[in-house]
Amino acid sequence: MPIDPYILLMLATVGFAALLPARDAAATAVDGASTGAIALLFFLYGTRLSTREAVDGLKHWRLHLTVLVCTFVLFPLLGLASGALVPVLLTDPLHQGLLFLTLVPSTVQSSIAFTSMARGNIPAAICAGSFSSLLGIVVTPLLAASLLGGSGGGFAAGSVLEIVVQLLVPFVAGQLLRRWIGGFVTRHKKFLGLIDRGSILLVVYAAFSEGMVHGIWQRISASELAGLLAVEVVLLAVMLAVTWYGAKALRFNREDRIAIQFAGSKKSLAAGLPMASVLFGPEAALAVVPLMLFHQMQLMVCAVIAKRRSRDPLPVPVLTPQPPAAASRTVVGTGTHSH
């Protein structure tokens, strides 16, 4: 059962924020740096998304539509249904965080990795994750405005404009400049990946530091976390089953079903954390707890599923027997000559 080392880094960052939260002038500096880091993140996302790959991926539109429906329709419906568990298993703030989790786009890297491990349709996983991330920049804030606006949790519908400025504008700028800097981004992929991860850690520190200053952690107990974890176990199990057996009912082949399951049942921590920091403000620390738990859980469970799928015997292609070639025959005709 793999533990994502990056999750351990995030937990260490949370611990550092708990011990040394930024206050006063330091808080202003960290907040400004976090805003810049978020803009840089989405600028780099824009430079990496190949427009040609996205257009080519549209040929497999049924698969991508299935993943998008799972990500932005089915997941949110389950998130809304979980409201019936308040206050039995969930507190209202944790339910808001869980509902936000269901609105976040799918992952890209881990969906590709697990699809590859399970011998699924890798190009489809690449395009499905890219489409989900691209649409999520617009769809997630709009869904949050309609489902979370005015319901508490620190979210304000006016944050949609803020997220457009901080996320969508840098992403579009990255797409426009990709023609000139795409090669540089590809050549320095590892270094820029470190910048990605460092930026997200800065966002985590800023969110949890602000949460400490505002006394967020006094509002959550170990039993409430246990209830949240139980709900997320059921949520992940339902989505894994729906994406696998639903894809079978839609007559997708094995490789496509694998891509649908891994892309349609997962949520992106890299996209969700920056969005939460913009949308929830001081409440972001509490809002991202469900997403952090779900992210680690999905990695552990999907790793086991991918390893088992990799041992599945591949279907043997059915060869249609060909009729034997007709023997060439020489037909000699006899003619009758009349005089």
- Look at residue 51 in the predicted model and tell me its pLDDT: 65
Map out the domains of the chain as residue ranges. Answer: 11-310
- Give just the sign of the alpha carbon dihedral 65, 71, 73, 75: positive
Burial category of 169 from C-beta neighbours within 10 Å (exposed 0-12, middle 13-18, buried 19 and up) = middle
Ranking 57-61, 172-176, 264-268, 320-324 by mean pLDDT, the lowest is 320-324
* CA–CA distance, 18 with 38 (Å, rounded to integer): 22
More confident residue, 52 or 277: 277
Q: Is the pLDDT of residue 214 over 80?
A: no
Residue 79 tokens read as 């998130």
What does 298-331 look like in DSSP terms, one character per residue?
HHHHHHHHHHHHHTSPPPPPPPPPPPPPPPP-PP
Assign 3-state DSSP to the chain and report helix, strand, coil percentages, each to 5: 75, 0, 25
For the stretch 105-154, pLDDT in tens is 998 778 888 898 898 888 888 888 888 888 888 898 888 888 886 544 44
Measured CA to CA, the distance from residue 249 to residue 315 in angstroms comes to 18
pLDDT above 50 for 303: yes
What is the Cα–Cα distance from 59 to 55, expressed in whole angstroms? Answer: 8
> What's the rounded Cα separation, in Å, for the pair 107 and 129?
6
CATH level 2 (architecture), domain 11-310: Up-down Bundle (1.20)
Q: What is the distance between the alpha carbons of residues 36 and 47, in angstroms, rounded to a whole number? A: 17
How does residue 241 score in pLDDT terms, banded at 50, 70 and 90?
very high
